[in-house]
Chain A
Amino acid sequence: MEKTNEMLMKSFNRALSELNNPYIKEAQSNGKKVIGLFCSYIPLELIAAGGMVPYRLKGQPGKDIGAGTTYLSTRLCTFSRNALSLALENDYSFLSGFIGNNTCDQIRRASQNWIIKKPAQFNHFIHIPRVYGEENVSFFKDQLIELKQELEEWSGKKISDDDLLKENLKYNKARELLRKLSMLRKYNKPVLSGSEMLTISAAYHQMPVNDFIPAAESLLENLLKEKTSDKGSSGKARILLCGGMIDEPDYIAFIEEQDIDVVADAVCFGMRSYRDDVDMKMDPMEALAERYLTHFPCPHIGESFSKRWETIKQVYKEYNADGIIFQRLKFCQIWGVDSHNMSGECEEMGIPLLTLEREYGFFSTGQLKTRLQAFVELIEERKEAV
């Protein structure tokens, strides 16, 4: 990370500095309630429209996950165990509300254990359909209306269409900024690294949108001013990172230490959360249901591979990538077939693909380094052959 970027990234690093980060503390001191949620399928706008702060739950690398393992066993992914451990040991006690969901079985069980063992003041569980046809979007809208009503009842504040429209607009703005920042990775010498971009997009989920927008604007402005003349090439392999949940910029930083630029991603704390906007011309609740259920899909949607692959291919091209790294947490089942489906497609298109299985917040540097170096060599060979 270059020195100047480090300074410009200050706000986003602050948002990831601790779970109860300074932005959250400040919002709470201003009387705002903070609502924790697990997944990219829950509309942040709806919570913000109720005058609350949506907070995407993350894990904490290095956390002892014994408490979560007691309830979830060793057969569930280390992220779900990590997050539940944090809840059970009161690291998330600053949350006023919790919204659990069933996008995957592990998060469903972690959510249920959370609600039983450490209920927040407000607890809700939402069904996210696993199919995204018309019927399902309309059913999802009903689920969101139910959530809205419960939030209203609990907080005593009605959420009007105007409130929703305002927040939908604001979040579209935030997503637009994220897209513009991400595009700075298109340069041959990317202006932002992959780990910086994940820091920014993770921070988007961890701070009030009103704080995020000015911070992102200022970063973009500065980068555009200072760096667009930054031509030349980094000479590194350009990688698109995809696969399951990842909120650890350090993991990407390590990848980038091995002669790799992570120039694009398709993960849910990353581009999957900001590639699509909410339609401002539709009824606001309908628009939220539509946007959130049908956005750049993760495989919890049972028929989504072709749409996901189409989008990944598009991003791969847009960002002029040389290869794909697919990462997945051990025991994460929903992502357990994508690498299989992708490998055939990649082979056909001549796209180098590396599949990595990992544990949350922990990696064996030696082994990973060797695999990454071999992958870089493969990419170079392919380039030379062309």
Chain B
Amino acid sequence: MILGKERWQVWEEAYESIEILEDIFSVASDDRTHNALLKIYKGYFHDLFTAIDKGKKIVYGNFAVPGTLMRGFDTDKVFWYQLEALSVIQSLVGEPGVWNSKLADAAEEGGMAPEICSVDRIAHGSWLNKVVPKPDACFYLTTPCDSQTCLVNNMVNETGKPTIVLDMPYQARDEDIRYVARQFRVVIKFLEDNLKIKYDFGRLKHACEVYNKMMVNIADWVELRRPRPSAQPSETVSLMAAVVTVFSGHQSGLDYATETLAEIKDFQSRGIKTVSGDELRAIWMGTPYWTDLNFYNWLEGELNITVPMDMFGYYHAGNLIDTSSEEKMMEGIARNAMRNFPMTRQLLGSYEDYLGDYRMLCRHYDADFAVIPGHLGCTHGWGISGLMREESERMGIPLLMFEFDMLDPRVKPRDDVEIIFKNFVDDIVLPKKAART
């Protein structure tokens, strides 16, 4: 039974799903990724409801707030709640789309424009429906997009709680990183003053070390996803963003990264293959198919398609946080928030951030084709679609682009997406591959 005095049905259901899934997956002891994910999300629920029961200070943030930075506050006193956490949990372990669709509708009924990204509509809907804990203070970032800025504008106006917003610049040059680091200082001071709780750089140092270890593991895993045939399911790639955004600097994030790395090593050593036929590799350049993770299994089973890497699953260990001084830690967190964080890394700045990653991923993972799952509200993703098509032509990589919504399955039912993939593979990918060989 779920902890906590506040028993919102939406959370109850998600928690029950986790327990059911735990029963299912625990039988397969080699399914280390799933078991690790369920464990850390269950832990998250416990932490959240304990926080509410114990009257800890709750700080709201949007998803791009670097978790590592927040760990400098004593977790016995402060709980950092990301506004998008509920929608992600619902997608990954809940009934696809049921609650998320309801919450998105609630935001629209409340006056939020339907074109705004569903991530933000759902976050606002959960606030309007009062299924999230009330904050004591809020700290938001203006990244990665207009939709997030809209959410911030709404929340600032509605919570009436002390709020600080941090500006994320367009580029990530040294001066930009120092600018963000300086703003972190202002944020810490602001939260200290408003929560009446001291920030502890010793704790931060520990969190940075945990973050670094997590990143090293993830970077190793990123490399191990390269060899053909793919040994670990595609779905695993889509989960990494859900871990990095919530658990950076937290032991849970490190535990997950350790397990998923061990899993891929194990599968490779045992010669496991995710598809039995001739593998078709797709680079997934956009938001994951979170409304139904089974879709990836269908791609593998029906069409021999694997996703060795996607846009939000890729991280590198080139920016590990230097923990030698407070300043260096601030800058290290800033650098990672800008250059090693899903959505912000690819979408906040120049077109080259996105195209550069696209080229790199196609080469690095030996792609047979690429997919742009056009998440409806992601205007800056759409705004680069023409250049992406041209880049694909230059690289000779077939590109499949289709409309869908990462959190709301009503936009494009899975059956329709399946047909789109089938036709694309039959009409374009296979003939092209045959012509090459």
Contact = CB atoms under 8 A, between A and B. Distances in A.
Given A130-B142, A303-B165, A337-B112, A72 B153 contact: no
Given A71-B386, A135-B182, A340 B112 contact: yes
Closest 3 CB pairs of A and B: A109-B383, A340-B111, A336-B113
A305 B112 contact: no
A110 interface: yes
A146 to B, nearest CB: 10
A108 B380 contact: yes
B179 interface: yes
Given A72-B385, A105-B379, 9 more contacts: A71-B386, A72-B383, A80-B383, A105-B380, A106-B146, A130-B167, A299-B150, A336-B113, A343-B111
Interface string B83-127: 000000000000000000000000000111101110000000000
Given A72-B386, A112-B350, A333 B379 contact: yes
A320 interface: no
Nearest to B347: A105
A374 B63 CA distance: 42
Given A139-B179, A303-B156, A339-B111, A334 B150 contact: yes
B113 A106 contact: no
B4 interface: no
A341 interface: yes
7 contacts: A75-B379, A80-B383, A106-B380, A129-B167, A300-B149, A336-B115, A343-B111
B171 interface: yes
B140 A302 contact: yes
Interface string A302-319: 111110000000000000
A116 interface: yes
B182 to A, nearest CB: 6
B201 interface: no
Contacts of A133: 186
A138 to B, nearest CB: 9
B179 A135 contact: yes
A23 interface: no
Contacts of A338: 153
Given A102-B170, A112-B350, A340-B112, A331 B153 contact: no
Contacts of A254: none
B153 A127 contact: no
A304 B170 CA distance: 20
A222 interface: no
A113 B383 contact: yes
A70 interface: yes
Contacts of B374: 73, 75
B157 A341 contact: yes
B166 interface: yes
A142 B174 CA distance: 13
B387 A113 contact: yes
A139 B157 CA distance: 26
A104 B351 CA distance: 14
B145 interface: yes
Contacts, number: 147
B149 A130 contact: yes
B183 interface: yes
A139 B153 contact: no
Interface in B363-381: 374, 376-377, 379-380
Nearest to B376: A75
Interface in A122-167: 125, 127, 129-131, 133, 135-136, 139, 142
A106 B170 CA distance: 14
Nearest to A73: B382
B169 interface: yes
Contacts of B179: 135, 139
B415 interface: no
Interface string B383-422: 1111100000000000000000000000000000000000
A313 B179 CA distance: 34
B157 A306 contact: yes
B309 interface: no
Q: Which of B115, B142, B166, B374 has the most CB of A within 10 A?
A: B115
Interface of B: 110-113, 115-117, 140, 142, 145-147, 149-154, 156-157, 163, 165-171, 175, 179, 182-183, 186, 350-351, 374, 376-377, 379-380, 382-387
Given A131-B166, A139-B169, A76 B113 contact: no
A333 B351 contact: no
A330 interface: yes
A328 interface: yes
A333 to B, nearest CB: 4
A261 B159 CA distance: 36
A70 B175 contact: no
B383 A76 contact: yes
A331 B170 contact: no
B339 to A, nearest CB: 16
Contacts of A105: 145-146, 379-380, 383
A70 B386 contact: yes
Contacts of A131: 142, 165-167
Nearest to A130: B142
A72 B382 contact: yes
Contact of A110 (B169, B186, B350, B383): B383
A133 B190 CA distance: 13
A329 B34 CA distance: 44
A80 to B, nearest CB: 8
A78 to B, nearest CB: 12
A127 B146 CA distance: 14
A343 B165 CA distance: 24
B147 A333 contact: yes
Contact of B153 (A70, A110, A136, A302): A302
Given A130-B142, A303-B163, A331 B387 contact: no
Contact of B110 (A142, A302, A340): A340
Contacts of B112: 336-337, 340
A127 B171 contact: yes
Contacts of B113: 328, 333, 336-337
B130 to A, nearest CB: 16
Contacts of B384: 109, 112
A268 B7 CA distance: 46
Nearest to B113: A336
B154 A340 contact: yes
Contacts of B387: 71, 112-113, 116
